[in-house]
């Protein structure tokens, strides 16, 4: 009999530190389930920086490294080059990856480093206090934008990281999913699996952006946060495969 559901071996059985309604736990479950399915638990390294991602080592039962804030792609580059047969995953939030770590992220992607980034976009700084992030929507309130993000006041516009990285020649697979409902969770799992399989096939840089609610810093109840994500984030950050160059890249690696 084939087991369809169960608790991944790569996921510790422990209580969560994440806030009620947070999407990180769902994303962890997706990643660890795929790691088990691929039989790579003993050859997986998670690099997780400061932010809500810093707790990943409490949940992922595999090797983990905690680089300084924003420096995860640089650490992952070194790990993957030294251990090319390992599955190396950057697990980053939007404040970390799209602000403090912009240079590391862009240049690692442009070099075509052969690791996979899971980019959790909740449109705000989570652990550090709800400040405005590069992905914060226009009009969205944050502790550093109490009246809402205002482009005319010099606050700029939300950065579409997936579309930005898709313009670089070193990127091979870029997709954006969400964990707001069962259908999107299933699609997001498909994107993550495709990216991890591409990495192990030696194909270049891959990234999966995942839209996730942050009820605490959005000052919302969990159900309202999911509805807000659907109504406000998805129109700005549309879901789907942004770039799929796997077929052509596969030919290059032969």
Confirm whether 10 is domain-assigned: no
pLDDT beyond 60 at 1: no
* Amino acid 253: pLDDT: 59
The Cα 87–Cα 67 span in angstroms is: 17
pLDDT of 110 higher than 90: yes
> Residue 11 domain-assigned?
no
Residue 111 inside a domain? The answer is yes
Burial class from Cβ neighbours inside 10 Å (0-12, 13-18, 19+) for residue 148 reads: middle
* CATH number of the domain where residue 87 is located: 3.40.50.970
Pairing mode, if any, of strands 116-121 and 171-178? unpaired
Is residue 6 one of the residues assigned to a domain? no
d(CA 70, CA 47): 11
Contacts of 151 (CB under 8 A, 6+ apart): 138, 157
**pTM of the predicted model over 0.85:** yes
pLDDT at position 177 over 80: yes
Note whether 53 and 96 are within 8 A (CB).
yes
Does 19 fall in a domain? no
First to last CA, the chain: 37
Q: What pLDDT sits at residue 38?
A: 96
Domain-located, residue 239: yes
- Pairing between β-strand 171-178 and β-strand 240-244 as defined by DSSP bridges: antiparallel
Confidence of residue 43 (pLDDT cuts 50, 70, 90): very high
Q: Does some domain include residue 3?
A: no
Counting residues of the chain whose pLDDT is more than 90, the rounded percentage is 83
Task: State the pLDDT at residue 248.
Answer: 75
* Structural domain total, the chain: 1
């Amino acid at each position: 009999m084939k087991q369809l559901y169960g608790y991944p071996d790569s996921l510790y059985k422990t209580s969560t530190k994440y806030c009620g309604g947070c999407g990180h736990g769902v994303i962890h479950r997706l990643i660890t389930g795929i790691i088990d399915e691929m039989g790579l638990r003993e050859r997986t390294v998670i690099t997780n920086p400061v932010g809500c991602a810093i707790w990943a080592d409490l949940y992922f039962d595999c090797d983990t490294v905690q680089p300084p804030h924003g420096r995860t792609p640089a650490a992952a580059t070194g790990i993957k080059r030294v251990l090319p047969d390992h599955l190396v995953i950057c697990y980053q939030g939007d404040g970390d990856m799209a602000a403090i770590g912009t240079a590391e992220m862009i240049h690692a992607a442009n070099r075509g480093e052969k690791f996979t980034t899971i980019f959790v976009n909740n449109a705000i700084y989570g652990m550090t206090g709800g400040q405005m992030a590069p992905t914060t929507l226009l009009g969205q309130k944050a502790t550093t934008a109490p009246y809402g993000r205002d482009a005319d006041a010099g606050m700029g516009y939300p950065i579409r990281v997936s579309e930005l990285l898709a313009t670089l020649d070193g990127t091979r697979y870029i997709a954006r999913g969400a964990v707001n409902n069962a259908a999107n969770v299933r699609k997001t799992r498909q994107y993550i699996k495709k990216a991890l399989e591409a990495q192990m096939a030696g194909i270049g840089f891959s990234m999966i952006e995942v839209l996730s609610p942050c009820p605490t810093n959005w000052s919302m109840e969990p159900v309202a946060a999911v509805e807000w994500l659907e109504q406000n984030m998805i129109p700005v950050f549309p879901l789907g495969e942004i770039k799929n160059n796997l077929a052509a890249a596969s030919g290059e690696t032969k």
